[in-house]
Amino acid sequence: MSNLDNLTSKIISDAEVKKKEILNDANAKADIIIKNKIEEANKKASSILQKAELESVTIKERVTSKTELEIRNKKLAAKQEVIEKVFEKAKIKLQAMSSEKLGEFIKNSIMNLNIDGDEEIILNVNDRGRLPVTFLEDINEELKAKGKLGNLTFGHRDYAIDGGFVLSKNGIEINNSFTELVNSLKYDLEYEVGNILFAE
């Protein structure tokens, strides 16, 4: 009986020891698993935060870039509008020139063109009435003196031009209307005018 008690006691004692070993081993493994999972979770959290931070920086840069582009485009549009107004005022000043200056402008422009001298001069109704009666006679005399035909005539068609003139012959036209002159100068002068207006 005593041996049986001893054996039972030994089995129980061994079982207790084994139980403690198993529990200690399980706890140690659990600690390692928990530690690894915590580290993994921390790494994932750090990665997610880093990614979120990078995305927020990218989004911020994108928004900033878009805003800067919009501001730049609005500034350019405003500058373009001012430049357009400058050229529009130039056209208005041309339209407001005196009858004498209008006659000189048309005559000088024609004399500087390489023409035969038998073209039609087309004007708007208002400007034609402002030219002196002897305008054609005077300009034809000067053309003859330059070896040209000297047979310019006024065109009978109504032209809706804002000022200046159009020379026409055989369906070919030289457009010296104020709009056309200002538009042709605009391309060459736009940059320069912009620099004068917006010099910093």
pLDDT digits (tens, 9 = 90+) for 89-121: 888 998 899 999 999 999 999 999 999 999 999
Strand pairing category for 120-122 and 164-169: antiparallel
* Percent of the chain clearing pLDDT 90 (strictly above): 33
In the chain, the largest separation of any two C-alpha atoms, in whole Å, equals: 157
Per-residue confidence band for 200, with pLDDT thresholds at 50, 70 and 90: low
For residue 71 the two structure tokens come to: 């501001």
Dist CA 32 CA 30 (whole Å): 5
Looking at every residue in the chain, the average pLDDT score rounds to 83
- How many Cα neighbours within 13 Å face the side chain of 65? 6
Which amino acid, residue 176?
A: N
Which is higher by pLDDT, 29 or 166?
Answer: 166
Q: Which of 10-14, 70-74, 81-85, 189-193 has the lowest mean pLDDT?
A: 10-14
Please report the pLDDT score of residue 173 as a whole number.
92
